[in-house]
């Protein structure tokens, strides 16, 4: 502060000295002219006065230039540079570059202005952070709303198709039962290998129709689950043992990462049906050979069961239609009802079933249930 006061005092003193010299220059020149006339011509005094009279304007001009340069330097250091720094900071704030490096320079007034700019930059930084967090929350809310809308449309479509399918299944089921009965009698009385072969093929196709009809009945049956506290780990282990009894998992390595004692509110029957269906789907997706990992975990009020395989994974097109009735990637081997029925059963227990990419490139189906 003392240095700034001294600088301003020097500046004012330099300016006053320069103005004084400019005012006194004509007076000094007249006095020198009078002294020259009084001095005897040719004397050393007269010659000295003549030289002084000649160089006096030049000396005064040089002094004035030096004082002007010094005054400019002092003014630039004390006022110019702080003003330019403040101007650059204002332009930087205008471009929303909020890292404003301002020190208290240029005297009390400029220092107050610079501190005000720094407070403004800090307020803008906080406002930007708040805006970013609100925007992220809005994106998340929109994402949840889109998922809920997709699930609602899928549920309505599933309910409509289920009602229609149940009606058709009832109409087909009765004559189908008769066909199966007569087919059983025909196989008992068949003679000749060719006739028996034909009857076995017919039996295979009729049984396939029967599976489709049963799937349609399950699809059209409203969710009537009776949730009770269920140890999910025990249900998972039981389902794995049941599926291992068949040939589907002969060349499949099943790994269990099941936490003990996790209880969910679920119906053991539908829950077992969902898990068995997911296990069989995983084995078929891998061609009967690969790895399946089943894990459980609890987060807040939800319990998750994940079935992840090492198969080829799910394309975006397949994932978009995965839970639609009659959609299948297995050709004639599948009915396209297993996942639709599983979704219906999960929703009947107050849960959800979704699919995503697995960590190893395969598919991962996640069943979420209310924790008990």
**Is residue 180 a part of any domain in this protein?**
no
pLDDT recorded at residue 343: 86
Tens-digit pLDDT profile for residues 158-200: 566 666 666 666 667 777 777 878 777 787 877 778 877 788 8
Query: b/e string for 206-228 if b means 16 or more Cβ within 10 A?
Result: eeeebebbebbbbbbeeeebebe
* Order of strands across the sheet that contains 352-357: 251-257, 289-299, 302-309, 363-370, 352-357
First-last CA distance in the chain: 72
Range of the domain at 16: 2-97
**Is residue 274 a part of any domain in this protein?**
yes
Query: What DSSP designation does 301 have?
Result: T
Sequence-distant (6+) residues with CB within 8 A of 155 are: 347
Whether the predicted pLDDT of 292 surpasses 60: yes
**Is residue 212 a part of any domain in this protein?**
no
Q: What is the rounded distance in angstroms from the CA atom of residue 104 to the CA atom of residue 35?
A: 57
Tens-digit pLDDT profile for residues 98-149: 666 655 555 666 667 767 777 777 777 788 788 888 888 888 888 777 766 6
Q: How far is CA 309 from the centre of its chain?
A: 26
Query: b/e string for 51-79 if b means 16 or more Cβ within 10 A?
Result: eebeeeeeebeeebeebeeebeebeeebb
**Is residue 127 a part of any domain in this protein?**
no
| Torsional class of 106: left (φ above 0), alpha (ψ -120 to 50), beta (otherwise) | left
Predicted TM-score (pTM) of the model is 0.50
Query: What DSSP designation does 40 have?
Result: P
**Is residue 321 a part of any domain in this protein?**
yes
Choosing from 50, 73, 97, the residue where a domain stops is: 97
Three state DSSP letters for 246-258 = CHHHCEEEEEEEC
**Is residue 109 a part of any domain in this protein?**
no
**Is residue 288 a part of any domain in this protein?**
yes
| Number of domains composing the chain | 2
Does residue 282 contact residue 292 with C-beta atoms inside 8 Å?
Answer: yes
């Amino acid at each position: 502060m003392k240095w700034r006061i001294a600088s301003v005092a020097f500046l004012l003193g330099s300016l006053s000295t320069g103005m004084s010299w400019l005012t006194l220059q004509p007076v000094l020149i007249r006095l020198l002219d009078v002294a020259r006339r009084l001095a005897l011509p040719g004397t050393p005094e007269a010659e000295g006065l003549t030289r002084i009279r000649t160089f006096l304007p030049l000396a005064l001009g040089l002094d004035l230039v030096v004082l002007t340069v010094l005054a400019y330097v002092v003014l630039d250091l004390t006022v110019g540079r702080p003003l330019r720094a403040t101007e650059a900071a204002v332009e930087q704030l205008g471009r929303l570059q909020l890292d404003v490096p301002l020190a208290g320079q240029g005297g009390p007034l400029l220092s107050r202005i610079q501190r005000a700019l720094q407070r403004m930059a800090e307020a803008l930084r906080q406002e930007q952070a708040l805006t970013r967090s609100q925007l992220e929350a809005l994106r998340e809310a929109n994402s949840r709303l889109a998922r809920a809308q997709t699930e609602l449309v899928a549920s309505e479509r599933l309910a409509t198709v289920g009602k229609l399918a149940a009606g058709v299944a009832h109409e087909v089921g009765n004559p189908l039962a008769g066909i199966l009965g007569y087919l059983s009698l025909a196989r008992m009385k068949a003679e000749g290998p060719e006739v028996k072969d034909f009857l076995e093929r017919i039996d295979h196709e009729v049984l396939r129709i029967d599976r489709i009809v049963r799937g349609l009945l399950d699809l059209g049956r409203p969710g009537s689950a009776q949730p009770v506290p269920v140890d999910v780990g025990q249900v998972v282990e039981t389902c794995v043992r049941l599926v291992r009894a068949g040939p589907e998992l002969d060349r499949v390595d099943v790994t269990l990462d099941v936490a003990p004692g996790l209880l969910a509110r679920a119906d053991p029957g539908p829950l077992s049906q969902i898990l068995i269906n997911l296990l069989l789907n995983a084995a078929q997706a891998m061609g009967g050979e690969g790895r399946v990992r089943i894990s459980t975990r609890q987060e807040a009020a939800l319990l998750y069961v994940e079935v992840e395989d090492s198969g080829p994974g799910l394309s975006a097109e397949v994932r978009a239609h995965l839970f639609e009735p009659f959609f299948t990637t297995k050709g004639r081997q599948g009915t396209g009802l297993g996942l639709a029925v599983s979704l219906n059963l999960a929703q009947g227990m107050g849960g959800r079933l979704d699919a995503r990419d697995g960590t190893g490139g395969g598919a991962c189906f996640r069943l979420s249930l209310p924790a008990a």
